[in-house]
Structure formats: structure tokens, C-alpha cells
Amino acid sequence: MCEFTAKDYKKGQPRWCPGCGDHFFLASLHKAMAEIGVAPWDIAVISGIGCSSRLPHYMNTYGMNTIHGRSAAIATGCKVANPNLTVWQVSGDGDGLAIGGNHFIHANRRNINLNMILLNNRIYGLTKGQYSPTSPRGFVSKSSPYGTVEDPFCPAELCFGARGHFFARAVATDAAGTVEILKEAYKHKGASVCEILQNCVIFNHGTHESVYTKEGRAKNAIYLEHGKPMLFGENKEFGLVQEGFGLKVVKLGENGITEKDILIHDAHCEDNTLQLKLALMQGPDFPIALGVIRDVDAPTYDDGVYAQIEEVSEKKKYHNFEELLMTNDTWEVK
Amino acid sequence: MIVKELDQVVVRFSGDSGDGMQLAGNLFSTISATVGNDISTFPDYPADIRAPQGSLTGVSGFQVHIGAGKVFTPGDQCDVLVAMNAAALKTQYKFAKSTACIIIDTDCFQKSDLEKAAFKTDNPIEEMGIKNDVIAAPISQMVKDCLADSGMDNKSMLKCRNMFALGLVCWLFNRDLTIAENFLREKFAKKPAIAEANIKVIHAGYDYGHNTHSSVAHTYRIESKTTVPGKYMDITGNKATAYGFIAAAEKAGLKLYLGSYPITPATDVLHELSKHKSLGVVTVQCEDEIAGCASAVGASYAGALAVTSTSGPGICLKSEAMNLAVIMELPLVVLDVQRGGPATGLPTKSEQTDLLQVLFGRNGESPMPVLAATSPTDCFEAAFEASKIALEHMTPVVLLTDAFVANGSAAWKLPKLADYPTINPPYVPAELKGSWTPYQRNEDGVRYWAIPGQEGFTHILGGLEKDNATGAISTNPENHHLMTQLRQQKIDKIQVPDVVVEGDKDDAELLIVGFGGTYGHLHAAMDEMRAEGKKVALAHFKFINPLPANTAEVMKKYPKVVVAEQNMGQFAGYLRMKVDGFVPYQYNEVKGQPFVVNELVTAFTEILNK
């Protein structure tokens, strides 16, 4: 079925710093696109401004590297005007959640059929090292030499708060995990947010250190799969159970815990309460959740627009400009 | 009873914002237009959602000028003033001629009403020194009596007061009520009881006038002298603008996309376009002004005729994405319905104060065509032309209108789309497949439009400067200079019609210059001066950037030139920049209200006599 290879989506020579997470993500995106199989000329990749927003220049597709923060809004117009295009919208944490926060939440709320990539390195790289809306409290940067005095966003919380229907997470260095969620994002009809945890080697080195290597992920992350028990650890010896209003890490075999006691992941559950709990988990007490956390079907905006056009067109008697004129009260001068 | 023939008459309906004066005024203009009169209307309403009832700040007015021949403005002062309460009389009397007939509802001139309107005595007519004919009728009571059997509650009955006033005015001008009946039955199609109540009240108002002869000496008749035969309708500027976009999209064979955010007074364009799904129009009410414009840029890239609409502070917010369309060289029409500023300013009032902002208010060298519609019906032409320029020259275009032309209405001869020029966007030729680069240009210096979905033309545009030859990101100094020049030349090459000089074009001693929505007032001022035997001409601009080729010649031809505009001299300054040695007189007024023809005549005569 796959008539394209990753090469068909590639263009140019990326100019990111050696070791930047963007390189890893780009390769995974090319690979995912080839596996998805949509022709390069039926794809638009739309970014804002920032290191990661250079990405469209390395795509052999249609696309735009636009202005700071506006890519979700621009992608909205592009998709609604031409729903035949597969639209990938690419932002960093500054572009997408600071200056573009409003567009991010509304694209989710409207449920535009966009694949929204959020490359989160918790730093402003292009402007050379200021804290971002995902930097932790107390974070020391060029613009916060004594540490920040503000709390960060958790992207999943924003997505869920905006009533988003799809949220997935991967680590940039984990090609298989990234390709997997990109394909799932494409399959999901509606706004699909993929948070990619990535390193900035220059200004925020080690920010996702605990999960950046395969070994680290084995210890500190949990890969969620719909319908599968939430087990993790190097030997899958840990699991998640519900306790009160929250989650709890348990060890199999301890206190009589067996696999039957472990929660089964339900990405399709409309109620996002537990999905949000999973997305909010942080080390060292909890594993970081990777994979598709939420994936719920819902009507999309773009489908709604065209369904309405079709429905109204059938009812109304005017279908061109001159027929429109005649729907007004007119009089004749002879 | 004498029936007096008039050439023209101005009627002003005024009352509390909840009194339905806009509806009464609209209906009267529609009735008049339908019998073949020319019309020009001016809704003058407060910005408050609902000011305290009966208060001076809550007064809403609707002025309509109807004429046997052509009328250019809604008129300076009215011949008939309807004042539905004491506050309306207090604030609106200044708009009445000394000979005007005044209609008041005495039931709303009670003690508390007079107090709210800050009258000191219980006789407002005397207190204000009004010597006009006054029809003082207990309108509220008569409406209640008339609807006593309807089963309606008191509040609902009183909502029909406006129709009583309208009926009375219809009697005064010998208007047939059939048109009003049809209109009301359609408007209240889902509430037939309301329609019939309104119709009953309108007849009651008419009969009241007829039976009492309402203490006036005569009624009026305004014949129709409209000469151009054809089908007509009444249209507001905002509706005409929306129609212009629909017509242009159809002519170009493209989908029409509007990305917008509600803002007074531009919102009616969003309302109008949202209705026409059966024409395939896509409207997206965005999260903010920025997204309205940004989404339109996305729609343009995707291959639509993309439009964004706004007013006031909205245009500031759009400038960032407008600039993106400049550097990406994508078609986009930005509609700016100018209102009073700065900041939130006077949201419902009219000014021409955004001109320099739309010309120059963006970072970098950012040339952009600008058009300004000259009347409610010209909004159609201007929207069509703005779309054609945008699509054929791959550029964002600003269409300026203003609250006055947007809300005002006029009789409009229905256009035939076949009479309009074709719109031919520079689609990328198929034979360039494989060799094409995004900034390759045609003979007009316009880059080709490669709409996504075509194999062999994938490309990335963006806000960063691009290499002219390859389309890749470039910071090369020579290339940036070249691209800056190419973007400027592309706009300079746009052909626009010469500016027309009206009036004494050969021997005028004074040339009046204006742009956009002041056309009617400036024309009326010129007519009045010429009627007094003065040599005056008018050059009114619709195309602001690029300016018509004959601009310098016209500006230099006459001994005196006055640039009259509703700002502090923006167009005059722009002309001085474009025409060497040009030093005009200026007439500037920033009141949020239309020009007053008499004041223009006085000011221009003074200049003439200097």
C-alpha cells in the first residue's frame, strides 16, 4: 500500500544544533508520513517561529513557516478552506503555548482536523535562552537569573481544559514511539496534540534526562496502550492502580498485588479524569506517561462546516449571485 | 388639505435605544425606495448596549433623506423629527430645520421622563423655545387602545409604538402601507400575531394623521425622477461589501472564505456572509482579530478568495498577519470599516482616521494597495475591485469603508455579473512543473499561485525573507534589497482608473479633494456652491494606493485646492508626499459625525475668498 518512502518527504539540510531534539523528530516525521502514505503534494506543514518552526523548510511538501504563535490559526484557515489537505501544525513550547496559547486552545476546542505537534524543550532557543511557559518554577535562565517565580503549563492540561479529544506524548529520541503516536494522530479525526519531549543541547541540556535514553525510559516512563494494563519498569514489575481520587504505583507480588489489580488503559473514555491524571504524572514518584493518552471520537469543525453547507444548499433556493440578488425586496423602474 | 410636491425631504426618527427607531427608519426608507425615490440613510445609535431607559445617552436616531432625483447625503437637518420621548427631543432637536414638523409621544413626556431628560419645567416645547409645528399625540395610549383585544401584555404592546410613528409619517408623505405590511409579515413570519399587531398599529398611526389632519398645514408627495431603468433594491454599505466579495469569488471561480471576529461596525459583513452557505461561503468566527486575519492567510494559501473584516483596534491586531501576506505574496482582502478612535474610541461613530495606518502601519517596507469606498452602493464595486486586485496581483489589499457608508443605505440598481470584468489569478502554468520556484514572476512582476494539491509544485512559503531565484531562506543583503524593490514594483504596476474631476473641471477656482465615504457630502457642497455661481470642482479618490496616474496633474491644475477629510490631515499629508510642491488648504473634522454640507460650504467659500 505504501508507495512513498521517507526520502519522498525530505528536503534540504537542517540547520539545528548538533544533538538538537528537532533532528530526531524530523526523521520520525518523515518516516511516519511515508508509513501513512498521503502524497507529499496533499500535505501542508505549517509552523510558527522558533527553532522547531524551521521544520517545514526540510519537508518536500506544501507548507509555511509563518509568524510567531499564529500557526494554529493559519492552519485552521488552511484546513477549513481546503479540507482535502492533510495539515500538520508544528510549534514549540514558546510559539504554541505563550504567544500562541489562545490559538492552541481554540483549535482544540473547535476540533479542527489538524495534527498539532508541540515540540517541548522548556526553553526559548532561537532567542538564546529565556524561560518558557513550560519551564519549571525557579528555573534559572538569561531572563530569570534568580529563578522564575511562576508555575509552568502542563500542555496536556491545556489540551484537556480546552476539551481536546486527542493527546499523545513521545520522547524525540524514541523513533518508534514518536512514529507510532504520529500515525495515531493522523488516524484520529479532529485536533490531535502530540507533545514531543526534547532536549536543547545549548540552553536547557538534560531537561528531559530521566526519559531521554532507552534505559531511562525503561525505568522512568510508562508506555500506555489502549486496552492494556498499565505496567512499567525494566521487567514490567510495577503497575498503576487507582487510590482515592488519584493514582498509585504498586509492585506486582507485593501486598498480594497481581496483574488483575492493575488499571487497564482506556484512551477512548470520554471522561478525561484518569487520562489527565496519567498525563500529569511526574518523576521520581511516578513514571512519565508516553503513548496515546486520550483518543476520543468527536465531530470535527471542518466536517461540520461542509455538512452545513450541503444541508443549507439543499434547502435554499439560491445558488449563485444573481439568484441571491433576487431574494431581496426589489422594485422596477421603467 | 394641501398636498405639497417636494424634491426632497429628510426625516429623522429618534427615541430610546429600545424604541425600535432603526426599524421604523429602515422601513420608511424601503417604502420610499420602492416607490422609486432615491434614498440615503444614516443610523446614529449609541455604543451602550442599553443605556438607562429615557436617558439622554440612550437616544438612538435614524435619518433618511429621500429625493425625487439623486440624493448624495442623508441630509444635514431634517424636515420631520419624530421624538418618541423627552430625551430624544432634547438631544435631537438640533438636527431639525426651523421649518421642521415635530412629532412627539406625549405619554413619554411625563414628569419622570422630563426629569430624566434634565428639563427644568413641565413644558419642554416652551423651555427649548421650539416654534415649529408640533404633532403632540398620546401615542403610547393609542397603541394600547388599539391592541386592547390582542391579548398581548403591556410591554409587548408598547413595543409597537414605533409603528404608530411610522404610520403617521407615512400619512404625512402619502405612502402606501402595503409594502410595510409585506415587510412585517416576512420579518415576523414565525410570529404572525406580532406581525398583525404591528400592521394594526401602523394603520392606526396613519388613520390618526388622516382623521385629525394632525395640526399640520399640508402633507407631501415626492415623485420619482430616477432615470436609469432597471431593477432596484435598498442596500446598506456593509451588505453591499459582502455582496461584492460573493460576486468576486463567483467571477473568479473560487471559494469565498471569511475569517473574522465580531466588532462594531464591521460585524454585519460577518452576519451577511454567514447566511449564504448555499453559495458555499465559508465563514469562521475566530478566537480573536489576529486569528481572523491569520486564518484568512491560511485559507489563501489553500486556494480560496480570503477575506478578513474588522474595525477600530481590530486593524492594529491584524497588521502582523497582513504583513505575512505581503512577504508571502498571497491574495487577501482586509476590510476595515473605520470608526472613531484611538483605542476603543467611538465604536459606533464614523471617521477616516485609519488611512495612514493601513498605508504604512506595519514593520518593514510593506507596500499594500488601498481602496476606499465612496458610498453605500460603491461598497459593492470597491469590494469587487479589491478582490480582483488581490487575486490578480497576489497581494493583500485593504478596503476602507467607514461606519457612515457601512450603516447607511441607498437605492441600488441590481448589477449583472456578466457586465463585470473577469478575474484571472496567475495560476502556475502546468509546463513549469519541475522547474518552478515560488518567486518566479509573470510580466506584471506577480509571482505565480501554486495551490496545494498539485504534484510537482510543493513549496514552502514563510515570513522570513526568501531568495528570489530559489525561494530558500536568504539573508543576503543584495537579495533583500531586490525583493524589497520587487514587492514595491508589483504594487506600483497595478493599473487604476484616473481620478475624475466633477463640476467646473476646466475653470474651477477651487478644487475640493476627498476620499472614501465623504463623497456625498463633498459633492453636495460643490453643487450648492456652483448653484451660487462659484467655480468649484471635486476630485474624489477611491484608489489610494497606488494613486491614479493623473493625480499630480489634477492637484496642480487649479489655483486653490482644499483636502477635506474626517481626520487631522492624513490624505493631505499623503498627497504632499506623492505630489512635489503640493500645498493644499485643509478642512479637517474628527467628530464621529458625517460632514455638514452647510459648514463645508461656509469653509470652502472662505478659502475661495482668501
Q: What tens digit of pLDDT does each residue of B313-339 get?
A: 999 999 999 999 999 999 999 999 999
Residues 200-239 of A with CB under 8 A from B: none
Kindly list the residues from chain A whose CB atom is less than 8 angstroms away from the CB atom of residue B464. 65
Output the nine-digit C-alpha cell for B489: 514594483
Cβ-based contacts of A49 with chain B (< 8 Å) = 463
- Please give the class, per CATH, of domain B234-419: alpha beta
Percent of chain B with pLDDT over 70: 96
pTM for this entry? 0.92
In this prediction, residue B215 carries a pLDDT of 57
Asked if B358 is an interface residue toward chain A (Cβ–Cβ < 8 A), one would say no
For A330, the closest chain B residue by CA position comes to B233
List of chain A residues whose C-beta atoms are within 8 Å of the C-beta of residue B234: 329
Of A61, A313, A320, the CB nearest to B277: A313
Please give the ipTM for the structure prediction: 0.97
pLDDT at B33: 85
Residue A21 near residue A196, CB atoms below 8 Å: yes
Q: How sure is the predictor about B226, in pLDDT bands with cuts at 50, 70 and 90? A: low
Question: Does residue A282 carry a pLDDT above 60?
Answer: yes
Convert A25-43 to b/e letters by CB count within 10 Å (16 or more is b).
bbbbbbbbbbbbeebbbbb
Which residue intervals of chain B bear CATH 3.40.920.10? 2-221
Chain A: residue whose CA lies nearest to B257 = A81
Domain with CATH 3.40.50.970 in chain B: 234-419
CATH number for A6-212 (one of 3.40.50.460, 3.40.980.10, 3.40.50.970, 1.10.260.40): it is: 3.40.50.970
- Who has greater pLDDT, B172 or B441? B441
Helices and strands in chain B, H and E counts? 21, 23
The pLDDT > 90 percentage for chain B reads 84
Measure the CA–CA gap between B543 and B386, rounded to whole angstroms: 10
Sort out which chain A residues have CB atoms less than 8 A from B282's CB and list them: 80-81, 305, 309
Check residue A330 and give its pLDDT.
85
- Confidence class of residue B216 from pLDDT cuts 50, 70 and 90? low
Task: Indicate the length of chain A as a whole number.
Answer: 334
Phi and psi at residue A112, to the nearest 5°: -70, 140
pLDDT at residue A329, rounded to an integer: 84
pLDDT > 50? residue B222: yes
Q: By the CB < 8 Å criterion, does A3 face chain B?
A: no
Q: Which amino acid is at B268?
A: D
Domain locations along chain A = 6-212
Put simply, the answer to whether B452 touches A308 (Cβ < 8 Å) is: no
pLDDT value at B225 more than 80: no
> How sure is the predictor about A245, in pLDDT bands with cuts at 50, 70 and 90?
very high
- Binary contact (A82, B35; C-beta < 8 A): no
Residue A7 DSSP code: G
**Given an 8 Å threshold on Cβ–Cβ distance, is A67 in contact with B35?**
no
Under DSSP, the state recorded for B422 is P
Chain A residues closer than 8 Å to B417 by CB: 321-322
Is residue B509 within 8 Å of B536, Cβ to Cβ? Answer: yes
Residue B125's pLDDT is: 94
Q: Do B279 and A56 touch (CB under 8 A)?
A: no
Residues of A in contact with B453 (CB under 8 A): 41-42, 62, 82, 84-85
Q: What superfamily would CATH give domain B2-221?
A: Pyruvate-ferredoxin oxidoreductase, PFOR, domain III (3.40.920.10)
C-alpha cell of B526? 460643490
Chain A CA closest to residue B224: A333
Q: Which of residues 460-519 of B touch A (CB under 8 A)?
A: 460-464, 472-473
- Residue B49 CB neighbours (<10 A): 6
Q: What is the 3-state secondary structure (H, E, C) of A217-279?
A: HHHHEEEECCCCECEECCCCCEEEEEECCEEEEEECCHHHCCHHHCCECCCCCCCCHHHHHHH
Q: Which residue has the higher pLDDT, B312 or B17?
A: B312
Q: What residues in A contact B36, CB-CB < 8 Å?
A: 331, 333
Q: What is the DSSP code (8-state) at residue A98? A: I
Report pLDDT for B444: 93
Rounded CA gap, A211 and A222, in Å? 10
The residue-averaged pLDDT of B530-538 equals 97
Residues of chain B with CATH 3.40.50.920: 501-608
Out of A234-248, A319-333, B487-501, pick the least confident.
Answer: A319-333
B405 vs B350: CA distance, rounded Å: 9
Q: Is B306 within 8 Å of A81 when comparing Cβ atoms? A: yes
Q: What is the DSSP letter of A99?
A: I
User: Where does B17-157 show beta strands of DSSP type E?
Assistant: 38-44, 59-67, 78-83, 96-105, 133-137
Classify strands A192-197 and B501-503 as parallel, antiparallel or unpaired: unpaired
Task: Confirm if B548 and B555 have CB atoms less than 8 A apart.
Answer: no
B381-395 mean pLDDT: 98
Give the bridge partners for B564, in sequence order. B587
Helix runs in B35-127, H state only = 86-92, 111-116, 124-127
Q: Is A327 on the interface with B (CB under 8 A)?
A: no
Q: Which amino acid is at B118?
A: A
pLDDT confidence band for A333 (50 / 70 / 90): confident
Question: What single DSSP character describes residue B446?
Answer: P
Residue A1 has pLDDT above 50, yes or no: no
Q: If 0-12 CB within 10 Å is exposed, 13-18 middle and 19+ buried, where does residue A24 land? A: buried
List of chain B residues whose C-beta atoms are within 8 Å of the C-beta of residue A62: 301, 452-453, 458-460
> Minimal CA–CA distance to A134: which of A109, A95, A97?
A97
H/E stretch holding A130 reads strand A130-131
Report yes or no: B250 at the A interface, CB cutoff 8 Å: yes
The residue of chain A nearest to residue B226, with distances taken between CA atoms, is A333
Average pLDDT over chain B, rounded to an integer? 94
Please indicate whether, in this complex, the C-beta atoms of A315 and B278 are within 8 angstroms of each other: yes
Residues 6+ apart with CB under 8 A from B317: B288, B289, B290, B293, B310
Q: How confident is the model at residue B446 (pLDDT cuts 50, 70, 90)?
A: very high
Tell me the pLDDT tens digit for each residue of B567-598: 999 999 999 999 999 999 999 999 999 999 99
Partners of A224 in the β-ladder = A291
Interface subset of A 92-151, CB within 8 angstroms of B: 102-103, 105-106
Instruction: Let me know: does B101 contact B93? Beta carbons within 8 Å.
Output: no
B contact test, residue of A329, A332, A334 with most B CBs within 10 A: A329
Query: Considering only residues 152 to 211 of chain A, which have any Cβ-Cβ distance to chain B shorter than 8 Å?
Result: none
Determine the residue of chain A that is closest to B255 in CA distance: A81
Grade residue B210 by pLDDT with cuts at 50, 70 and 90. confident
Which residues, listed in sequence order, are joined to residue B82 by a DSSP beta bridge?
B13, B103
Q: Which tens digit of pLDDT belongs to each residue from A39-84?
A: 999 999 999 999 999 999 999 999 999 999 999 999 999 999 999 9
Segment B231-244 shows an average pLDDT of: 94
Residue B258 predicted with pLDDT over 80: yes
Average pLDDT, chain A: 97
Q: By C-alpha distance, which of B566, B565, B502 is closest to B536? A: B502
Q: Which residues of B fall within a CB distance of 8 Å from A77?
A: 257, 259, 284, 294-300, 302, 306
Alpha carbon A8 to its chain centroid, in Å, reads 23
Question: By three-state DSSP, how is residue B45 classified?
Answer: coil
> Which CATH architecture group holds B501-608?
3-Layer(aba) Sandwich (3.40)
Cβ contact B80:B9 at 8 Å: yes
pLDDT of residue B218: 63
User: In angstroms, rounded to a whole number, what is the distance separating the alpha carbons of residues B283 and B522?
Assistant: 36
Give yes or no for A13 touching B (CB within 8 A). Answer: no
CA dist B142 to A267, B87, B148, B194, B200, Å?
Answer: 67, 21, 10, 17, 11
Beta strands of B148-295 (E only): which ranges?
218-222, 230-236, 256-260, 282-285
Among the partner-chain residues A75, A324, A331, the one whose CB lies closest to the CB of B276 is A324
The burial class, CB within 10 Å (0-12 / 13-18 / 19+), for B307 is buried
Q: Is the pLDDT of residue B257 over 70?
A: yes
The gap from C-alpha B353 to its chain's centroid, in whole angstroms, comes to 15
CA distance A333 to chain B (A): 5
Q: What is the pLDDT of residue B224?
A: 62
Residue A300, pLDDT > 80, answer yes
- pLDDT tens digits, A104-150: 999 999 999 999 999 999 999 999 999 999 999 999 999 999 999 99
Q: Is B225 on the interface with A (CB under 8 A)?
A: no
Q: Count how many pairs of residues, chain A against chain B, have C-beta atoms within 8 Å.
A: 208
User: From A47, which residue of chain B is nearest by alpha-carbon distance?
Assistant: B462
pLDDT of residue B45: 81
**How far apart are the C-alpha atoms of A132 and A203, rounded to whole Å?**
12
Distance (Å, rounded) from C-alpha A61 to C-alpha A287?
Answer: 37
pLDDT on residue B176: 87
Q: Residue B458 and residue A49: Cβ atoms within 8 Å?
A: no
- Asked whether the beta carbons of residue B463 and residue A67 sit closer than 8 angstroms, the reply is yes
- Over the stretch B455-473, which tens digit does the pLDDT of each residue have? 999 999 999 999 999 999 9
Check CB contact of A285 with chain B, cutoff 8 Å: no
Window B:410-429, CB contacts with A under 8 Å:
414-417
Over residues B301-324, the mean pLDDT reads: 98
Interchain proximity A65–B463, CB inside 8 Å? yes
Residue B49: the pLDDT is 67
